Structure 1
Amino acid sequence: MSYLSSNITAPPFVLADKSTTEFPRYWISHPDLFVAPAAQSQSDPAKRSLAVLKWFLASLRGQQYAGRKPSEGIKKPLNAFLGELFIAEIGLEGEETRLVSEQVSHHPPVTACYLWNQKHGVRAEGYTRQEITFSGSVNIQQIGHAVLTVEKYDEDYLIPLPNVKVKGILSGGPYPELNGSYKIVSSSGYVAEVDFSGKGVLGFGGERNHVKAKIHDKDGKVVYTVEGSWTEKLTFKNASGTTIEIYDCDTAAVSEARTAPLPDQDPWESRVAWHGVIDSIHKGDMQGVANAKSMLENAQRELRKHPETSEEAWETLFFRREKEHAVASRLMEVAGTKLEADKTCGVWRFDAEKAGKLEKPWRGGMEPASKY
């Protein structure tokens, strides 16, 4: 999920050319890593947990930098509007990993996503709300979770959504740091404990984007460790301390997301709805950015004034609201966390039956920026 979203207004020149609904694509920017757990032996759940940890860590750079190089800094993504969608696929033909992302709530902002690879039987679904505070840095607390499922082994993994601190704002060189400790919990009994740290106060001590993790079984025996930088290199070791891999996050191949051509997309899809803003950003036309952005946002405010299109009456397209998620709750007990459905307007699950009945245009003649 993105490093910065929600209710922060930014001048046009610091805006990214994509909305927050597009950020789940970075979970699958390395499609080979996303499906790697399914390729492991049935008798080796420890290696599957290692594969999940590697995928998780390798995804962080793209998510936090929005696909940019760390040297290029970060920009603020566009705030998603209610009902906004991003639909894409990544990977070779016949091996595609697909994605559906939908803004299911605006107050508070909640983005839900579903990612799946049909051939390899790997899928993930999750949702997040971001709470943002300021204290010299921008602090983003992520509320929500994701669950990765490897169908072949009927195995589930609780995937955490790390909190983010955007540092360097006062010096003019903002960059993201992940902070805190998290657990990737597998239904097989293995747990990956992940600790993030970064530069100390005023840049003294510590290393930027540092991470240290270990995987242990249900008895606490450590089987794998990893340490390094989630923007540079990660060193993986086995239980005896022997290096088994050095993964270079900087040079690893990244697959681009493919979407339908703009004329074939639905009006509620992100790149169509924000086309005027995105086009102006690419042209360096800051007044055009401001004008196009205001037009869409004003139209959305007008739409919400009508009872049948208010946020309270809004019906999602691809996701359904539930009160509980048994699998997530069971894994969260091990992680020492819990569902906070009251903070995310419910528990959001992908609704395959509802999605299978949809036909374009998905909302009839209603468009996100049309006059009601």
Structure 2
Amino acid sequence: MMTYGKDGGHRNQKCSKTIKKKTKATNHCHCYKKSIVLTKPFSIENESDSEISYKAPNLLRRLLSLLKNVRRGSDLTRFQLPPQFNFPKSQLQCYGESIYSISSNLLSRCNNGHSPLDRLIYVVAWSISTTRPPIFGVAPYNPTLGETHHVSKGTLNVLLEQVSHHPPVSALHATDEKENIEIIWCHYPVPKFSGTNVEAQVHGKRQLKLLNHGETYEMNSPNLFIRILPIPGVDWVGNVNIRCLESGLVAELCFKTQSFLGFSGNQRLIKGKIIDSSSLKILFEVNGHWDSTVTLKDMNNAETRVIYDAKETISGLQAPIVKDEENVWPTESTLIWSELNQAIMSQDWEKAIEAKKSVEERQRDLLRERESKKETWVPKHFTLFQNKEGCWDCLPIQKLVPNSPITTL
């Protein structure tokens, strides 16, 4: 959790929000405090501070206890982890952080590229920057239906909403009026257990719109691969395609992990190429490691240059701060999970179990209430639908995302 330092800066932050609640018996208002707990985003460093101090001991024992209750090939989207396996974040926050937690302005570079090819190259770098190092042995909370996460970074405003619970579909909308950029991201993970590993296939698509240039870039996400045996580990794997609908330029990337035995030196490897789809000519080759540097080789003259430096881009990241707690939405992730966040940070596992159970029971109560009234839940900020391919997709209801009372540098 964040506390303010003597220099006026922040290392952690914990601020409270007063919630008014009416009791049925007396109709009186009772005020209680909910603390907004904001933690550092995932960074490229393996930091040994409070961000990992909440990890519970005896990881192998916890894993073996889970394996007893999970069958091979089972659908894990309905499986609830005990809080000892959680870190104090919702999955919505993790998605949002990959957009607003960045130490360099790659989006501005995308917008300022002089040619369609320059802009695609910067979009490739931006797409790689959204890949953050996961932590083995802990996972974020499954967002509740209607949960939101809303953060501003400069002129970029980012809003996420959990638009479906089964399947677990998350929607993101980000707008930057200054740069005239819009991001729409709708995706849903489908994790499968296969004995020695879990692979979460991330369905859905992202759209990055550079409105000044009339260009839309569509891309997918890599899959999360969790290896349990023989050597535990977690990584991003799979193919990512980035296509500019207007120029016809395409980037094909492949994320690779270490070998099954865990001895390969090519960890977090990324390889790929940039192609002109009209001529099928390979213009550039992409090589490197997404957690260090990625280079681009020009196929005409063999010149090589660095297009992405992870240490420069996603290191030294700071947690957001709350500038106006009274205007934080009651659906905000950090409020919904506030008690559980605090319990995990203090390693009070009994309190954590009760806090998590309370959130889950509240969701079940709301579901029963809707079913009794024969009501269908409708997202507040997005329209959810299935496209022609039968995949879930979404569109934002508002043209622009408003400024948030939660901000980050």
TM-score (norm 2): 0.72
In the TM superposition, what are the counterparts of 1:1-372 in structure 2 within 5 Å? 6-25=77-96, 26-30=98-102, 32-41=105-114, 44-61=115-132, 64-65=133-134, 73=136, 75-90=138-153, 95-135=154-194, 136-167=196-227, 169-170=228-229, 173-179=232-238, 181-187=239-245, 188-205=247-264, 207-218=266-277, 219-239=279-299, 240-245=301-306, 247-254=308-315, 255-256=317-318, 257-259=320-322, 261-307=324-370, 313-324=376-387, 339-341=389-391, 344=392, 347-352=393-398
Specify the SS of the correspondent of 1:271. helix
- Counterpart of 2:243, as a letter, is V
In the aligned structure 1, how far is the partner of 2:244 from the partner of 2:256? Answer: 24
Q: 1:340, 1:140 → 2: CA distance?
A: 19
Contact 1:231 1:249 in 2 (8 A): yes
AA aligned to 2:113 is: Q
On the 8 A contact 1:303/1:309 being kept in 2, the answer is no
* Distance in 1 (alpha carbons) for counterparts of 2:91 and 2:190: 14
| CA spacing shift, 1:312–1:157, aligned 2, 3 Å | farther
Asked whether the 8 Å contact 1:35–1:117 carries over to 2, the reply is no
1:340 maps to a residue whose letter is: G
Q: Distance in 1 between matches of 2:116 and 2:241?
A: 16
Q: Compute the displacement of 1:166 (Å).
A: 1.1
- Provide, for residues 186-228 of structure 1, a one-character-per-residue CA deviation record: whole Å limited to 9, x for no partner: 0211000111212122124461111102111121222222211
Taking only the aligned residue pairs, the percentage that are identical comes to 25
Instruction: Note closer, same or farther for the CA distance 1:227–1:156 as it changes in structure 2 (3 Å cut).
Output: same
Kept after mapping to 2: 8 A contact 1:53/1:192:
yes
- Answer yes or no: is the 8 Å Cα contact 2:330–2:336 preserved in 1: yes
Match of 2:23 in 1: none
- Which piece of structure 1 moves more, 126-135 or 205-214? 205-214
Counterpart residue type for residue 348 of structure 1 = C
* 3-state SS, counterpart of residue 235 of structure 2: strand
Which residue is equivalent to 2:60? none
Distance in 2 between the 1:86 and 1:244 partners? 37
Distance of 2:233 and 2:87 partners within structure 1 = 14
Q: Distance in 1 between matches of 2:281 and 2:189?
A: 35
In the superposition, relative to structure 1, how do residues 241 and 77 fare at CA in structure 2: closer, same or farther (>3 Å)? Answer: same
Q: Which amino acid aligns with 2:180?
A: G
Please tell me the residue identity of whatever aligns with 2:396: F
State the alpha-carbon separation in 1 of the partners of residues 243 and 221 from structure 2: 13
Q: CA deviation at 1:6?
A: 3.5
Residues 1:203 and 1:354: Cα distance change in structure 2 (over 3 Å): closer
CA contact (8 A) 2:175 2:400 kept: no
- How big is the shift at 1:172? 7.1
Unmatched 5+ stretches in structure 1: 66-71, 325-337, 357-372
d(CA) in 2 for partners of 1:197 and 1:172?
16
Distance of 2:372 and 2:329 partners within structure 1: 18
Change (3 A) 1:299 1:216: same
| Cα distance in 2 between the residues matched to 1:263 and 1:281 | 25
Q: Is the Cα contact below 8 Å between 2:86 and 2:141 reproduced in 1?
A: yes
Shift of residue 34 of structure 1? 2.2
TM-score (norm 1): 0.79
Three-state SS of the structure 2 residue aligned to 1:295 is: helix
Q: 2:139 & 2:214 partners in 1: Cα distance?
A: 38
The structure having more radius of gyration, on CA atoms, is 2
Ranked by relative contact order (alpha carbons within 8 Å, sequence separation 6 or more), the top structure is: 2
> Which secondary structure state, in structure 2, belongs to the residue aligned with residue 306 of structure 1?
helix
**Alignment deviations for residues 150-185 of structure 1 (CA, whole Å, 9 cap, x no partner):** 000100011112222112x24674322312x23101
